[in-house]
Amino acid sequence: MDKLLKIKNQVVAILDPTADWVALLPIRLLMAYEFGKAGLTKFNGNNWFANVQDNFLFPFNYVPVEISWFMATWAEILGGLCLFFGLFTRFWAFSLIIVSIVAISAVHWPDDWNSLAELWKGYAITDKGFGNYRVPLLFIAMLFPLVFYGAGKVSLDNILARKFR
């Protein structure tokens, strides 16, 4: 038992100092890719927000669809870029959580559900009449650590923080 405890302590001694450097980096890079790709798809595509504007949460349902499209497109593109470099990470992670919540309400939430069992069927990748909010919900869960912990040490946020202390 003492040998296992010693090995555990050695592993922890190696992992703990590296956590601030690498723990959040995969999340940041994955979210940068996903949101950047979604933003570029919108940038190169046609505005389909008019089809779902009634499903947008207040106050976004009152914003003209051209403005909503512009804001969502550039929030995803700029947010993706900034997450990649770790610049203003908390701001962009929080902003992309808002974008994801609006996306769930407008596109991914089921139109109608009568029970929690039916609602749970929407926790899926494909929409078979029950919605498909799984991916954006996972994105929200992945963005939360970035809101609360920031970008980590491998980031422009860290460089700026050290420079302006």
Write down the domain spans for the chain: 23-163
Q: pLDDT tens digit string along 88-131?
A: 999 999 999 999 999 999 988 887 788 888 888 888 888 787 88
pLDDT at 36: 98
Q: Average pLDDT for residues 65-88, to the nearest whole number?
A: 97
Residues present in the chain in total: 165
The candidate with the shortest Cα–Cα distance to 48, out of 127, 122, 107, is 107
Please, which pLDDT band fits residue 159 given cuts at 50, 70 and 90? very high
- Which alpha helices (DSSP H) does the chain contain, by range? 2-22, 25-43, 65-85, 89-103, 116-120, 134-149, 156-163
- Looking at per-residue pLDDT, the higher value among 161 and 20 belongs to 161
Q: Average pLDDT of the chain?
A: 92
The span from the CA of 151 to the CA of 54, in Å, is: 35
Residue 145: pLDDT over 80: yes
Average pLDDT over residues 4-31: 90
> What percentage of the chain carries pLDDT values higher than 90?
62
Q: Given pLDDT bands bounded at 50, 70 and 90, which one contains residue 132?
A: confident
Residue 14 has pLDDT above 90, yes or no: no
Res 68: pLDDT: 95
Confidence (pLDDT) at 18? 87
Q: Of 135, 18, 25, give the one whose Cα is nearest residue 89.
A: 25
Mean pLDDT to the nearest integer, 36-47: 97
Is pLDDT above 90 for 143? yes
pLDDT at residue 61 is higher than 80: yes
User: Helices 89-103 and 25-43: crossing angle, nearest 10°?
Assistant: 50
Q: How many Å apart are CA 46 and CA 25, to the nearest integer?
A: 32
